Amino acid sequence: MKKTKFLAIPVLAAIMLGGCSAASAEPVNKAPAVVGVKDIQCMVNSTVDFLDGVAALDNEDGDITPGLEITVSPEVTVENGYATFTQVGSYTVSYTVRDSGGRTAQKKAYVDVMDRETYKTFALPEGFSAQAYGKAEITVCGMENGAFGLSAQGGEIAEDVVLSRTYTVSDTYNAEGGPCTFRYNIESDAAGKVKVIANGDDCAEINVTEGHNVLTFMYAPVHGGKADGEVTVDVCLGNLGTMNLTVGNVEIEYPQQAGREIERAGEFKFGGKIEARIDTKAGLSDEEKADPALTNGLVGNTWAADGGNEAHLEITSPSTKPETVWAGGMFINTGIALKSGVTYRVSLDCHCDALDGREPGNDRFEIHYQNKQWGSDDEVMIDKLFNPEGPQTTELKITDKFAGSLWIYVMSGMQANEITIKDLSVVEILAPAGKDSYSIEDFTCNGGKLETKDGGFKFQVAEFKENGGDTAVESPSFNVAGSGGNYVLTFKAKASKPVDVVVAIPVAGGWDPTILWQQIKLGEEETIYTFMCNKNDGDRLHKIAWQFGSALNTQYTDVTIEISDIKICLKNSQLDS
């Protein structure tokens, strides 16, 4: 057993009955007792300590806990008192112990293994799913080698194999302007005719050839003269028989009311949308951060005020080094989508108060409009405002390069100051036609060879980079509404040789904040890993990163790492503390 419990055993006084001699009294071997046994509730893929608070006691032998035998039915392996439950269900656990005199004791308890609510998997990207009917069989449906693949056989009629996805109709769609145009980019190794059904209505029959195809069809998502909120598109592929299909991106074009303006900020509140950037030297303790000599003198803070109507950046002590002049600032995550080909008019009111006086030439501060939190100027800069004072209006014409989510970055100047941002407005100006593009995101890597399939990946590394190089695999981005503390990451992993891995969950497009950062060691035996994401964070996109470029791995070459069953699960408020 795993451990020995040392408990006080009551000493039973020998009571000598009158007329009986000690020589003639036979000692009575009492049965042992198992104490502390209780029923257990746990989450699937978690490990249970069956000896926590449990002991086996015997009047004659004392503490005999190391002799406890623990069995679970249905069968689950118990080692050193621990068991990992990989399947949801109800289990019976039996504790059995035998003393030196041959007497036994047994107690039972029950284990209720609960499932987590899965929020996100990576097996069916962009909402695609597939169904087979009749004699048809689907053999592949999901990401494979960097693309969304569908393989099926046995189809006799079109409806035997169906690829489905539900699309949300843009609120800029003009129902009076005509139908929407859908375009599916696919590669096929089979030829035949496919049928398209939208919201249960027959839309089109399209001939598919071997090689590249663009499936184009039109549908007006209108009910009772008004645009519907969703369109479910079923592409029926059964007539292709045995096929291997790869789906590229999907585009939807729709008519709009040209020139119409739509307010996207809509009584915007800054509360929970602000992040400070007060850069100091890395790895400082709280005591060291209070020492200006160690922090380059930079001291500041950010907050929302006036019921969330204002965002404030305060630098009470600016950096003492010119090269860190822009190390004080704040990010504002608006959460507003920036679409390619669309013009946005962004307005805000800005005011800067000097706390210690402002010297000419040193009073400059800037506001940047960006399509992600972090990045160099040429990557993410859309427009800059230099020393803005009072109401400001800027038009942003978004190209493919700058499509994303609108971030506002306020950078403080060299002087101590307080900058206030308020009255944010973001107006979308409609063109005659709009377009939504649904690209297929997949895992990406550097420093090795990556194969992806069924929501996981195989990563082959010929040689690890030295000095903590960036050999890594990153997941597609995902969003969990609320905060980073709302979810749990689980996956299975193994490696052909021992490998040290850092598992991280940073914000997509950057590394600050990072809500999970933990090192594990992978071995040849497949293991389930579960990580609680407990650091609060805003409602934004995140990604998972597996970093292998540790100096600890430079002794290994030709390593294969396999990660599978990657899931983002919502927490259970009762069991996940």
Domain count, the chain: 4
543 assigned to some structural domain: yes
317 assigned to some structural domain: yes
- Do 374 and 279 lie in a common domain? yes
DSSP 8-state symbol, 355: S
- Do 235 and 329 lie in a common domain? no
Question: Last residue of some domain: 71, 93, 115?
Answer: 115
The mean pLDDT of 506-524, rounded to a whole number, is: 86
- Do 342 and 283 lie in a common domain? yes
- Do 149 and 243 lie in a common domain? yes
3-state SS class at 241: coil
Instruction: Look at residue 15 and tell me whether its pLDDT is greater than 50.
Output: no
- Do 457 and 494 lie in a common domain? yes
- Do 246 and 297 lie in a common domain? no
Range of weakest confidence among 155-164, 432-441, 506-515: 506-515
The mean pLDDT of 178-204, rounded to a whole number, is: 95
Q: What percent of the chain has pLDDT over 70?
A: 84
Q: Which of 294, 268, 273, 267 is nearest to 283 (CA)?
A: 294
414 assigned to some structural domain: yes
Across the chain, what does the average pLDDT equal? 85
Tell me which range, 2-11, 36-45, 413-422, 533-542, is most confidently predicted by mean pLDDT.
36-45
- Do 504 and 558 lie in a common domain? yes
Looking at residue 466, its pLDDT comes to 64
460-483 pLDDT, tens digit each:
988 876 655 678 899 988 877 666
Instruction: Look at residue 144 and tell me whether its pLDDT is greater than 80.
Output: no
Question: Last residue of some domain: 115, 146, 166?
Answer: 115
234 assigned to some structural domain: yes
Looking at residue 123, its pLDDT comes to 80
What DSSP letter does each residue of 359-428 carry, written as one string? -TTS---EEEEESSSS--HHHHEEEEEES--EEEEEEEE--GGG-EEEEEEEE--SS-EEEEEEEEEEEE
256-274 pLDDT, tens digit each:
999 999 999 988 999 888 8
Q: Which of 484, 480, 489 is nearest to 537 (CA)?
A: 484
Model confidence at 358, pLDDT cuts 50, 70, 90, reads low
The mean pLDDT of 563-572, rounded to a whole number, is: 89
Question: Last residue of some domain: 221, 255, 289?
Answer: 255
Model confidence at 281, pLDDT cuts 50, 70, 90, reads low
- Do 351 and 266 lie in a common domain? yes
- Do 451 and 416 lie in a common domain? no
- Do 307 and 226 lie in a common domain? no
412 assigned to some structural domain: yes
10 assigned to some structural domain: no
Looking at residue 9, its pLDDT comes to 39
Looking at residue 469, its pLDDT comes to 61
7 assigned to some structural domain: no
24 assigned to some structural domain: no
Tell me which range, 21-35, 186-200, 369-383, 496-510, is most confidently predicted by mean pLDDT.
186-200
Strands 299-305 and 211-219: unpaired
Range of weakest confidence among 33-42, 347-356, 420-429, 567-576: 567-576
The mean pLDDT of 26-47, rounded to a whole number, is: 88
Q: How far is the CA of 41 from the CAs of 95, 191, 490, 576, in angstroms?
A: 17, 53, 19, 11
Model confidence at 539, pLDDT cuts 50, 70, 90, reads low
Phi–psi pair at 79, nearest 5 degrees: -125, 125
Tell me the residue range of the domain where 64 lies. 33-115
Q: Which of 257, 232, 246 is nearest to 182 (CA)?
A: 232
- Do 161 and 193 lie in a common domain? yes
- Which pair of structure tokens corresponds to residue 565? 């069953």
- Do 83 and 184 lie in a common domain? no
pTM of the predicted model, to two decimals? Answer: 0.67
The CATH number linked to 236 is 2.60.120.260
